[in-house]
Amino acid sequence: MAETKSASIRTPRARVKGLGASGHGAEHFWMQRLTGAANLLLMIAFAVIVAKMWGRPYPEAVALVAQPVVAIVLLLTIVSATIHMRLGMQVIIEDYVHGTGLKFAALTANTFYAVAVAAACLYAIVRVGLGGLV
């Protein structure tokens, strides 16, 4: 009895890696879920920090942000939120923008926007956290 091989267009390397057509779908899915869960916890801490600053004079608010734990929570919140924002918009762009060039431009603009928002927020937190030394 002759042994039959199943015909496959996938290379041996592709079969070993076990990735689908895009090669990154599961990673994107899990990163979106992970940042969503992190945002849930971090936004609670963020709301507490904002509530503590409510109605306080500017120097007291700066002193609160200058505390290391508060600054780290704010930094983590910004990083997680902007990653989550970029991933969410990427899914929307991939689903609803059909032209190849336009899709590439929208995805590029999405990434640059997320980086710009994160950089501006991180700079502000670090500057205030270090007491204007930066």
What is the pLDDT at residue 19? 57
Question: pLDDT tens track of the chain, all 134 residues?
Answer: 555 566 677 777 766 665 555 556 688 889 999 999 999 999 999 999 999 999 999 889 899 999 999 999 999 999 999 999 999 999 999 999 999 999 999 999 999 999 999 999 999 999 988 875 55
- Domains of the chain in sequence order: 25-129 (1.20.1300.10)
Tens digit of each residue's pLDDT (9 = 90 or more) over 50-82: 999 999 998 898 999 999 999 999 999 999 999
Tokens of 112: 């640059």
pTM, whole model, 2 decimals?
0.77
Tokens of 98: 């059909």
What is the pLDDT at residue 13? 73
- Rounded Cα distance, 89 and 32, in Å: 11
